[in-house]
Chain A
Amino acid sequence: MMVLASVFMGKLSVEMGVPTLPAILVGMIVGVATGAINGLLVTRLRLPPFIVTLGTWNIFFALVIFFTGSQSIRSSDIEINAPLLHFWGERINLGGFVFTYGAFLMIFMFVVLWLVLNKTAWGRHVYAIGDDKEAAELSGIRTDRMLVSVYAVAGLVIGIGAWVSIGRVGSVSPTSFYEGNLDSITAVVIGGTSLFGGRGTILGALFGALIVGVFSSGLSIAGLDVLWQRFALGCLIIIAVGIDQWIRKVSN
């Protein structure tokens, strides 16, 4: 989905001459729409979410290849035609530390989503549904509507991520971030989010992402083979979730 949204942004602004801002907007709408499609498939057809997302993941990947003809949009072309797409990749030097604008956007997004999840009824309902959908339904929450909106919000976040990803890698490549979803699942699971729903925090997800990021960057810098980086990441997931389960057992 993220790559699909970034392809829309890149294609429209670089190759079709659409002004950059509307092109970005279209890309975000694509994110929201694909999210909503997932949500509708899950709620209307009552399909298991895992199957739906696995299916649409492949479909969207195929669409990306179709739209791009497997061609990347080059970084230099983006720089000439739509430099705004690179905005979040711009660097700023603060007291000797170099940050991308994207890093600030990330912090902003974490704050906004934390507020939404903890301070609004919508956020509380997300937890309630994840916890026990039937109980939430009986409490008067319109669970199907809520679920579609959750998927749509995830789609919006993906749309924003698509913009950031262009800044990060420079070009729009149909095959980049192919495993991005697995990486994000890894990050949130390490951050303590339950795959069975209802449990997890924004702060946990942030730390999960940081751990995964620091871990893989660190191993890269240490000169470890990519092969063994993956091996280590796999071990990290199992150990992290194992410790989490153990803590839960002990604390009960």
Chain B
Amino acid sequence: MEPILVAKNLSKKYGKVVALDNANLELYPGEVLGVIGDNGAGKSTLIKVLCGAVKPDTGEILLDGQTVTFSSPIEARTLGIETVYQNLALSPALSITDNMFLGREIRQKGFMGKFLRFLDKKAMADEARKRLSELGLLTIQNINQLVETLSGGQRQGVAVARATSFGTKVVIMDEPTAALGVKESRRVLELIGEVRARGIPIILISHNMPHVFEVADRIHIHRLGTRLCVINPKDYEMSDAVAFMTGAKQPPQN
């Protein structure tokens, strides 16, 4: 099977600090790839490069076998790489619908939309409702509720629904459970399962080992700016992964 997203020999230096040192990554269709690494291992830089927030010094990114370059997250997004940021990038004072369509609103047909640029609120609300129910998030009662009235898990749900709604090829999730309680985290992990079930591959960056081991199909371990190894969570214990991450144990040769 061909990988959908490939990063080849990515390097990035900040002054003398080497954040990425010939890093590689492959993401296959329909999988959840966990990315773990110690603080300062360069995993956030790797993710920022993949989502378009940072330009690498060298190396290339291939999406569907095509070399792609992007100078902003928006360009990456138009190509189908959606990112759910740790802070979610939602506007709390706007409604769920407004947030889901922020930057890609649907306009009314005919004169009202074309010349007066009026929004088709009904179409947007219907679509938003559909997306949320597809992800099993219909516990949200009112689609025009303000995002600030939602719980952390529900907000995460809205952000995920938005990320998976617009012809998305890859979803990158940055620490989706970091700010959540036990119950809400559970909900988000289920959500990851739902997204995978719909055939969208996910890159999951997390500090939470049990979460990564629970949902990831493969785990990419990042160390000293590069990929140390990729392990199958079924073959290893969490303590092994931590040992690889910190350098306490030699990684498997693969």
Where the two chains meet, the residues of A that have a C-beta atom closer than 8 Å to any C-beta of B are: 115, 119-122, 124-125, 127-128, 130-132, 134-136, 138-141, 198-199
Contacts and interface: CB of A to CB of B under 8 A. Distances in A.
Contacts of A138: 73, 83, 85, 89
Interface string B214-228: 000000000000000
A115 B116 CA distance: 10
Max chain B Cβ within 10 angstroms of own Cβ: one of A115, A124, A134, A138? A138
Contacts of B98: 124, 127-128
15 contacts: A121-B105, A122-B117, A124-B94, A124-B98, A124-B119, A127-B91, A127-B93, A128-B91, A131-B91, A131-B94, A135-B88, A135-B90, A139-B103, A198-B93, A199-B93
A120 B93 contact: no
Contact of B103 (A132, A134, A141): A141
B94 A140 contact: no
A23 to B, nearest CB: 29
Given A119-B119, A140-B102, A128 B85 contact: no
Nearest to A121: B105
A141 B89 CA distance: 12
Interface in B59-117: 73-74, 77, 83, 85, 87-94, 98-99, 102-105, 107, 116-117
B119 A136 contact: no
Given A125-B103, A136-B102, 4 more contacts: A121-B119, A128-B91, A132-B92, A140-B103
Contacts of A128: 91, 94, 98, 102
A125 to B, nearest CB: 7
Nearest to B147: A131
A134 B117 contact: no
Contacts of A199: 93
Contacts of B118: 115, 119-120
Given A131-B93, A132-B92, A134-B89, A139 B119 contact: no
6 closest A-B pairs by CB:
A140-B103, A138-B89, A121-B105, A135-B89, A139-B102, A131-B91
Interface in B158-190: none
A138 B48 CA distance: 12
A167 to B, nearest CB: 29
Max chain A Cβ within 10 angstroms of own Cβ: one of B77, B88, B89? B89
Contacts of A139: 89, 91, 99, 102-103
Contacts of A127: 91, 93-94, 98
Max chain B Cβ within 10 angstroms of own Cβ: one of A115, A120, A135? A135
Contacts of B107: 121
A120 B93 CA distance: 16
B67 to A, nearest CB: 23
B90 A124 contact: no
Contacts of B99: 139
Contacts of A134: 87, 89
A135 to B, nearest CB: 4
Contacts of A132: 89-92
B155 to A, nearest CB: 12
A198 B91 CA distance: 9
B117 A120 contact: yes
A87 B102 CA distance: 41
B24 to A, nearest CB: 26
Max chain A Cβ within 10 angstroms of own Cβ: one of B87, B103, B104, B118? B103
B167 to A, nearest CB: 14
A125 B119 CA distance: 12
Interface in B180-232: none
Contacts of A136: 91, 102-103
Nearest to A141: B103
Contacts of B73: 138
B89 A120 contact: no
Contact of A141 (B87, B102, B117): B102
A136 B90 CA distance: 8
B96 to A, nearest CB: 13
Nearest to A130: B93
A25 to B, nearest CB: 22
